[in-house]
Amino acid sequence: MKVFSIKQALLYGFKSSFRHFFFLIGVTAIVAIITSLVASVVFGSISLILISRLPEVCEFIRSGILLDNQEIATCLTALLNLFSDHWFLYTMIFALGLLIIFLVLCYLSLGWFKVLLHLYDYKKGSFRALFAHPRLLFTFATASVLYGIIISLGAIAFIAPGVIFALMFIMFGYVIVDKKAGIIESFRTSAHITYGAKWRLFLLMSIIMLISLLLEPIDNAVLLRLWGLPQILTYSLLAIGTLLRVYLFFTVTMISVYAYRTLNAQTYAPVK
């Protein structure tokens, strides 16, 4: 039977996320900047392609000048006609843009797993780890899609199977990065690692969700306004709540790597 202490997992998560808080903030900022830049380039390019195909009557869109309602209506009609005449082409262009963004996110997710493993193993951060595994991109992207499909099908059938499958295969990302595993192997290994520990993982997840709900009153702008608090106090509580929410997110990520390393070590411990 596997020994997995929820208390130790929580303590490790809170302590390590506090110790490496600013490093994790830096990694998160890099991920956010790269994602924003890629999304801007992709959707900006799509917009330029669409605008360049519009007739001259829509010149005011290119220049950013809005004219009368008649010209706006004429341009919108031209835009709809453009989509209806070439819907397949523009659907493919848009799908390609989404695919590029998805692959970038998968690549950064690979780096995020590597960063967490590096923090756990060496007790120090490495920004270089964020860009460590480009060759695993296709494997991770395919496994991510498959993971989403499995969970969705389980949730559609009944909620319980969806939760079970989510917990069973939750370690696939760590397995791909840590063991350079293939798609099927990553799922099989994750199932072995979480075997006998899914109930504790579920309890751990429930505790984290409860903590998240407890933070809701101080990081929800709508609720704070309903309380009728002074504006400066409202903004102060909102800032504190947001900071605690970020800290909780980092705690969850550190708990996940702790769970992986602990359960993996027990699963594949040498027989004495």
Task: Output the six-digit token pair for 214.
Answer: 């407890």
Residue 114 CB burial class (10 angstroms; 0-12, 13-18, ≥19):
buried
Interval 185-237: pLDDT, tens: 999 999 999 998 889 999 999 999 898 887 776 666 555 565 666 777 777 77
Predicted model pTM: 0.82
**Tens digits of residue pLDDT in 45-69:** 877 776 666 655 455 555 555 555 6
